[in-house]
Structure 1
Amino acid sequence: MDQPSAFYTQVDEHEFESTTATSSPWDESLQHGGPPAALLAHVIEQTPGGGPGGIARITVDMLGGIPQGRMRATSRVVRPGRRVELVEASLSVGDRVAVSATAWRIVTSPDATRAQAAPALELPPLPDEQPQEFFPGTSPEWGYGRAVDWRFVEGGYAAPGPAALWARVRIPLVAGLETSPVGRLLVVADSANGLSGELPLAEWLFIPPTLSVTVLREPAEEWLWFDARSTIGPHGRGLAQATLADRQGLVAAVAQPLLVAPR
């Protein structure tokens, strides 16, 4: 199967059409959470505001399954400011809001804290290209899975438990547009749960209704280091966490609460 050229095509100023590159591993009629999260970041980045602030924290709420097809985007500045502002955005399918987000944008001052910044990280080398193996029972043609180059150092989609890997988005978020660094980050951030599930997926459900990503800085490189783990609590809830980095240092922290239940 040919890979789509992007996750979305832009229909008009406010409408986007999903492609099969957004597809969920469990239901091709639905979207994986990563591309819609990145599309909301794109919409927020395009929203005029009071200062040249980049996204410092974005929380994405998935209000049920996100259908494939045409989505209408809206956004507004909730709390304006010259240095810190809050923006909200949503994607609607028909008359239903399918996914929404709030984001704090904080003004950046190039090199203002360079001397105080944390040092670069020593990370494992990028492995050679690997066979792309997904969840047990998932088609090797899984659209979202094939749209990202996954190179595992520890763990894997088929191996329960923590995972450490390099990831690179293969295609643009929106056809004809360059994907922003934060957009590339958001495409993969929602995979923290799927990459690090602690229990067999054939027997257990892990449902993350929301995703929160705190961004220290924009990624400086195409490849992102992804270190993910999940913790199961005693009362049917769990927590998926991940750190994302490049060779210059930490980029972002990811957190997802989970509903954990037998199938």
Structure 2
Amino acid sequence: MSLSTALPESYYQRIDEHRYKPTAHAGGAWEVGDQHFSPLAGLLVHAIDRHRAAGAANDLVLARISYDILGRIALDECEIAVRTVRPGRTVELLEAQVVIAGRPVVRARAWLLAAGDTGAVADTPVQRIAPPEEFAPWAMNDVWEGGYIASVEMRRQASAEPGRAAAWVRSDLELVADEPSSSLASFVGLVDTANGIAVQQPPTRWMFPNVDLTIHLHRQPEGRWTGLDTTVSFGPAGHGLTSTVLHDVTGPVGQAEQILTVRPLAHG
């Protein structure tokens, strides 16, 4: 479901080694001139992958990434810098920063851990959600606006209700034009969609943007679908929390948390 065949079939186009230009597909849900955070989160993983590929080879895998959203993310050229904070053979910490128009707008930290064979004890009590083919197609753009929302295919559980829903999301677009991305980068590039699948209140009356996103993974995701089993809570003092169990088509892979600032729109 792309916006138009005339548009680039990617969320970003590379300008140089560290700079990227977002396409209309990266357009935000709250403001037309902003980026949706979901593809930018995936782009940061893509940049981290490139940083790691340029260094010494190791078997470390990303187990946690946390993002702090520092302010408005304009739909404009962005520069991404990645650095190693704590190198190591079994544990490593990387940091990435997004700058737009000279101002930092996102900071991310990623913990990478050594891989090992724990198949004999691999287990989780978390139940799988039904596969994508058992969920009905859902027109998410009936609730939300923006180029990113229009770019994705959504399937949502029929029993969804305010504050509680399960859904599957995928996109046929590349993260960066003519540039392969890892399964992890593509998966993470869809996770921030969670804040919009189980809304507590209509976004035409209330704002509840997230100011962060933290993803923990106990298994590396595979395939094109990102599964979201999401619960949204609003507190009494202007704060909310979106909590999501993350799935690929073979089962749960981890969890995501997003803290929300909740406030009524002026005309609400």
Would you call these one fold, judging by a TM-score over 0.5?
Answer: yes
Matched residue, 1:25:
29
Q: Distance in 2 between matches of 1:211 and 1:162?
A: 18
Aligned match of 1:169: 171
On the 8 A contact 2:140/2:154 being kept in 1, the answer is no
Aligned to 1:60: 67
Instruction: Tell me how far apart the structure 2 counterparts of residues 146 and 104 of structure 1 sit (CA, whole Å).
Output: 32
Matched, 1:224 2:231: no
Structure 2 unmatched runs, 5+? none
Q: Could you tell me which amino acid in structure 1 is paired with residue 76 of structure 2?
A: G
Root-mean-square deviation (Å): 2.1
Unaligned runs of 5+ in 1: none
What residue is the counterpart of 2:120 in the other structure? 115
Aligned to 1:145: 149
Residue 129 of structure 1: how far off its partner (Å): 6.9
* CA deviations over 1:131-188 (Å, ceiling 9, x no partner): 534254x45xx310122211112466xx633121121122111111222122122211
Paired residue for 1:74? Answer: 81
Task: Show the counterpart of 2:210.
Answer: 208
- Partner SS for 1:251: strand
**Residue 137 (structure 2) pairs with residue 130 (structure 1):** yes
The answer on 1:39 being equivalent to 2:39 is: no
User: How far apart, in 2, do the equivalents of 1:161 and 1:123 lie?
Assistant: 17
Q: Distance in 1 between matches of 2:159 and 2:113?
A: 35
**Higher mean C-alpha displacement, 57-66 vs 244-253:** 244-253
Distance 1:85 1:122 in 2: 30
Identify the range of structure 1 (206-215 vs 51-60) with the bigger mean alpha-carbon deviation. Answer: 51-60
CA distance in 2, matches of 1:205, 1:215: 29
TM-score, normalised on structure 1?
0.89
Give me the whole-angstrom Cα distance separating, in 1, the residues matched to 2:249 and 2:158.
18
Read off the aligned partner of 1:224 and give its amino acid letter.
T
Q: 1:199 aligns with which of 201, 216, 225?
A: 201
2:19 aligned residue (12, 15, 19): 15
Matched residues in 2 for 1:154 and 1:164: separation? Answer: 9
Q: Give the count of matched residue pairs.
A: 256
**1:93-130 Cα distance to aligned partner (Å, 9 max, x none):** 12111211111011212xx1111112696542323773
**Contact 1:40-1:100 at 8 Å conserved across structures:** no
TM-score when normalising by structure 2: 0.88
Q: How far does residue 235 in structure 1 lie from its aligned partner after superposition?
A: 2.1
The aligned counterpart of 1:5 is 9
CA contact (8 A) 1:45 1:54 kept: no
The answer to whether the 8 A contact 2:187-2:224 is kept is no
1:196-220 deviation line (CA, Å, top 9, x unaligned): 2212222222121111011122212
Correspondence 1:244 to 2:249:
no
User: Following TM superposition, where does structure 1 have runs of at least 4 consecutive aligned residues deviating by more than 4 angstroms?
Assistant: 119-122
- Secondary structure of the residue aligned to 1:239 is strand
Q: Is contact 2:157-2:166 (8 Å) kept?
A: yes
Distance 1:210 1:125, change over 3 A: closer
Q: 1:102 is matched with which residue?
A: 109
Which deviates the most, 209-218 or 194-203?
Answer: 194-203
Q: Give the aligned partner of residue 95 of structure 2.
A: 88
| SS of aligned partner of 1:170 | coil
Separation in 2 of the partners of 1:169 and 1:31? 16
